[in-house]
């Protein structure tokens, strides 16, 4: 999924959490999702670097 879809999904969950009163849960899940996304991007970069080094 692209970053645009992540933002759209996040917006929908934010509005839903506001009306259900679960704003704190939404914020905490947001931090967790951002952390997991950063870990995933870092691992992808490491994989690409290692793959390039193996091919050379």
pLDDT at 1 over 60: no
Name the residue with higher pLDDT: 51 or 34: 51
Number of domains in the chain: 1
Give the whole-angstrom CA distance, residue 48 versus residue 43: 9
For residue 23, how many C-alpha atoms fall within 13 Å in the half-sphere facing its CB? 4
Name the residue with higher pLDDT: 49 or 18: 49
Which range marks the domain in which residue 10 is found?
Answer: 3-55
Which pLDDT tens digit goes with each residue over 4-29? 777 787 788 888 888 898 888 888 88
Question: Is residue 18 within 8 Å of residue 24, measured between CB atoms?
Answer: no
């Amino acid at each position: 999924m692209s970053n645009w879809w992540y933002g759209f999904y996040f917006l929908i969950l934010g509005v839903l959490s506001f009306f259900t009163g679960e704003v704190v849960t939404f914020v905490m899940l947001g931090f967790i999702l951002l952390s997991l996304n950063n870990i995933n991007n870092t691992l992808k970069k490491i994989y690409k670097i290692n793959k390039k080094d193996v091919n050379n």
